Copies of this chain bind each other. A is one copy, B any other.
Amino acid sequence: MSMNLLKAGYPVTVWNRTPARAEELVAAGAGLAKSPQELAAASDFLLSIVSDPPALEEVLWGPHGAMQALKRGSIYVDSSTISPALARKIAAACAERGVRFLDAPVTGGDWGAKKGELIFMAGGDAATLKEAEPVLGVMGKKWFHLGAHGAGQTIKLAMNLILALQVDALAEALALVTGAGLPGEKLVEVLQSSMARSGVLDVKAPNLLKGEYVPSFPLRLMHKDLGLALDLANQLGVPLPATAAARETYSYVKGAAREDLDYSAVMKFWKR
């Protein structure tokens, strides 16, 4: 994402918890901040993307955290996938400092990030999104204004719930078919001609058939997102029986896995 901003001519300064990850960007001309605090103090437009809510809380409110240094009048966009409640907490803290915040998680994966074809799901003020558009447009191809703060996260969690269940459904179907002694390839071939065709079928079925799960979107992150979706649903009193069942299946694989796997590795539940 930062590389695309650099290529588009924006002056970019970066910070990463793992310094080595910033090296390629620095080599390409990015400045390097010593801490989130230093970065926030120097930025008119701050964007964060980390793996989970505790990581974001650390970046914002931990030692040398960004929040205390965010500049009045600046725009802060978080593209992590977190809970809507945390997004609203950040929005409130930003509002106190005169900072305009958007929760804007993304979809599109590594591939979309590199190509600049991410999709942003934004919650917050429409005018702020309008102002952020030129920057978002460098990193992504689409952005949706979905409602007030937290709305971006809510839609993102709902989307990932669907992706997780689609992959899990495909895994259950393949387990059934292969358990009955038929080749899984036959099922996939028929599905491609039917109403059961889907983006997930195109992208993930080859992984499941080959048993190769090189991470595109890591299982541990999908498992985390299912947890966030279920937390939200349970706070709202909205039952999600199939999501809850699938989360336990992902949990089983996460517990048994020794390496970092794509979430399509949920298939390993059936390969004991």
A168 to B237 alpha-carbon distance, docked (Å): 17
Number of copies: 4
Chain B residues near A239 (CB, 8 Å)? 248-249, 251-252, 255, 269-270
Q: Mark A153-190, 1 if CB is under 8 A from B, else 0.
A: 01101110111011011101111110111100011011
CB atoms of A161 and B172 under 8 A apart: yes
Chain B residues near A150 (CB, 8 Å)? 180
Q: A151 near B: Cβ within 8 Å? A: yes
Chain B residues near A180 (CB, 8 Å)? 84, 150, 154, 232, 236
Chain B residues near A195 (CB, 8 Å)? 107, 109, 163, 199-200, 203
Chain B residues near A272 (CB, 8 Å)? 256, 272
Q: A55 near B: Cβ within 8 Å? A: no
CB atoms of A240 and B176 under 8 A apart: yes
Q: A61 near B: Cβ within 8 Å? A: no
The distance from the CB of A169 to the nearest CB of chain B, in whole angstroms, is: 4
Q: A100 near B: Cβ within 8 Å? A: no
A161 to B255 alpha-carbon distance, docked (Å): 20
Chain B residues near A121 (CB, 8 Å)? 190
Q: How many residues of A contact B (CB 8 A)?
A: 80
The distance from the CB of A254 to the nearest CB of chain B, in whole angstroms, is: 5
The distance from the CB of A200 to the nearest CB of chain B, in whole angstroms, is: 6
Q: A246 near B: Cβ within 8 Å? A: yes
Of listed A144, A232, A245, residue having the most chain B CB within 10 A: A245
Q: A193 near B: Cβ within 8 Å? A: yes
Q: A242 near B: Cβ within 8 Å? A: yes
Q: Which residue of B lies closest to A170 (CB)?
A: B162
Q: Mark A80-98, 1 if CB is under 8 A from B, else 0.
A: 0000100000000000000
Q: Which residue of B lies closest to A159 (CB)?
A: B196
The distance from the CB of A107 to the nearest CB of chain B, in whole angstroms, is: 5
Given A162-B191, A177-B155, A190-B144, A246 contacting B237 (CB threshold 8 A): no
The distance from the CB of A187 to the nearest CB of chain B, in whole angstroms, is: 5
Selected A-B contacts with CB under 8 Å, 11 pairs: A154-B182, A155-B186, A162-B170, A163-B195, A168-B242, A238-B255, A239-B252, A240-B248, A241-B246, A244-B248, A245-B245
